[in-house]
Amino acid sequence: MAIGMRTNAGAAGKRLGALGELVAKNVRIAVVDTAISLAEDAAEATPIDTGAAESAWNATPRRPDYISEHDKRASTSGASAVDAVVSRAESQLGKQQSVAVVTNGVTYIEDLNHGSSNQAPAGFVQQAVQMARARLKKLRVTKVGGGNIR
């Protein structure tokens, strides 16, 4: 399962000059923040048996990097698994990206998302995506001079 996010803020930034470049930079930061939050929210909502599905959430720039249930990176569960997902995403994405992909490579993640476990409702991945979209819709330029988007 892969969820992709892409922005074309760079082209808009070039047309708008310095302000546009600032907006484009902050949009790339927002892409990273949103991808990390999406991976974290999805991991927290994922049903836990062995912990492999929970810790297999991954956020990477540009191309998917699927973590399967056989991967050593999918070996923790509970709070430590969510922390590992966030830490891995932060290190892989860096500070700015125009494209981010959130993935989970366990073979049964779609079954879990369709409600095969009573630990999470069907559609828990879509709920995490909706939370990410809601965060993005709230972005506003707050400081034109010094420059942040919130």
Residues 42, 44, 46, 51, Cα dihedral to 10°: 120
Residues in the chain: 150
Range of 24's domain? 2-149
Contacts of 63 (CB under 8 A, 6+ apart): 101
pTM of the entire structure? 0.83
Evaluate if residue 14 carries a pLDDT over 80.
no
- In this prediction, residues 54-69 reach a mean pLDDT of 92
Q: What pLDDT is stored for residue 146 in this prediction?
A: 53
The pLDDT-based confidence of 144 (bands split at 50, 70, 90) is low
Six token digits for residue 13: 């930034």
- So what's the pLDDT on residue 72? 81
Q: How far apart are CA 67 and CA 29, in angstroms?
A: 24
Lowest average pLDDT, out of 36-40, 91-95, 144-148, goes to: 144-148
111-119 mean pLDDT? 96
Q: What are phi and psi of 118, to 5 degrees?
A: -80, 0
Q: Is the per-residue pLDDT at 91 higher than 70? A: yes
Q: How many separate domains does the chain show? A: 1
- In the chain, how long is the greatest CA-to-CA distance? 52
Lowest mean pLDDT among 75-84, 89-98, 111-120: 75-84
Q: Given this model, what pLDDT does residue 139 score? A: 79
Mean pLDDT computed over every residue of the chain:
85
